[in-house]
Amino acid sequence: MDGLGRKALRKSFSATARASTGKSSLTFGIIKSETLKPTSPYIHPKFQLNGLSFESAEEILNFAEGLMEQGDDFEVSMATFLEEWLNFKDYVEVQTSGSTGKPKKIQLLKKHMIHSAEATGAYFKIGEGTKALLCLSSEFIAGKMMLVRAMVLGWDLHVVAPDKDALVQYDNPYDFVALVPYQLYHSIHALDKVKKLIVGGGILTKDMEQMLQNKSVEAFATYGMTETITHVAARRINGFAKSEVYHAFPHVKFSVDERGCLVISAPKISETEIITNDLVELLSPISFIWLGRQDFIINSGGVKLNPETIEKKLEPFLKIPFIISSEKDAALGEKVILVIEEVSTWQPPNYAEVFSVLEPFERPKKVYTLSQFPYTETGKIKRAQVKEVLQKFRK
CATH no. for residue 379?
3.30.300.30
Task: Assess whether 208 and 336 both reside in one domain.
Answer: no
pLDDT of residue 293 exceeding 80: no
pLDDT at residue number 5: 42
- Could you report the per-residue pLDDT of 47-83, keeping only the tens digit for each? 887 777 666 788 778 888 988 888 899 999 999 999 9
Nearest Cα to Cα of residue 63 among 120, 134, 11: 11
Say whether both 69 and 135 belong to one domain: yes
Indicate if 308 and 174 belong to the same structural domain. no
- SS3 string, the chain, reads CCHHHHHHHHHHHHHHHHHHHCCCECCECCECHHHCCCCCCCCCCCCECECCCECCHHHHHHHHHHHHHHCCHHHHHHHHHHHHHCCCCCEEEEECCCCCCCCCEEEEEHHHHHHHHHHHHHHHCCCCCCEEEECCCCCCHHHHHHHHHHHHHCCEEEEECCCCCHHHHCCCCEEEEEECHHHHHCCHHHHHHEEEEEECCCCCCHHHHHHCCCCCCEEEEEEEEHHHCEEEEEEECCCCCCCCEEEECCCCEEEECCCCEEEEECCCCCCCCEEEEEEEEEEECCEEEEEEECCCCEEECCEEECHHHHHHHHCCCCCCCEEEEEEEECCCEEEEEEEEECCCCCCCCCHHHHHCCCCHHHCCCEEEEECCCCECCCCCECHHHHHHHHHHHHC
152 shares its domain with 198: yes
Between 55 and 339, name the one with better pLDDT. Answer: 339
**Of 156-165, 230-239, 301-310, minimum mean pLDDT range:** 301-310
The CA distances from residue 335 to 24, 28, 33, 158, in Å, are 30, 38, 46, 31
Q: What is the pLDDT of residue 297?
A: 83
CA distance 218 to 196: 5
Distance of alpha carbon 10 from alpha carbon 24, whole angstroms: 13
Could you tell me if 60 and 145 lie in one domain?
A: yes
Domain that holds residue 181: 3-293
CATH number at residue 220: 3.40.50.12780
Tally of domains in the chain: 2
Residues 59 and 191 in one domain: yes
Q: What is the pLDDT of residues 352-395, one digit of tens each?
A: 899 999 999 999 999 999 999 988 654 678 888 898 899 887 76
Quote the CA–CA distance of 391 and 386 in Å, as a whole number. 9
Position 97 scores a pLDDT of 63
pLDDT at 100: 46
For 81-97, the pLDDT digits (tens) are 999 999 889 999 998 76
Q: What's the pLDDT tens digit per position in 207-228?
A: 889 999 999 999 999 999 999 9
pLDDT of 20 strictly over 50: no
pLDDT tens string 254-286: 999 998 999 999 999 999 999 998 889 999 999
| Same domain (yes/no): 306, 284 | no
- Domain boundary pick from 278, 293, 308: 293
Q: 307 and 279, same structural domain?
A: no
Same structural domain for residues 264 and 369? Answer: no
Last-in-domain residue among 293, 308, 339: 293
Domain end marker among 239, 261, 293: 293
Q: Do 250 and 357 have their domain in common? A: no
Same domain, 221 and 327: no
- The CA-atom distances, in angstroms, between 97 and each of 166, 228, 230, 394 are 23, 12, 11, 30
User: Is residue 328 domain-shared with residue 223, that is, in the same domain?
Assistant: no
Percent of the chain at pLDDT exceeding 70: 85
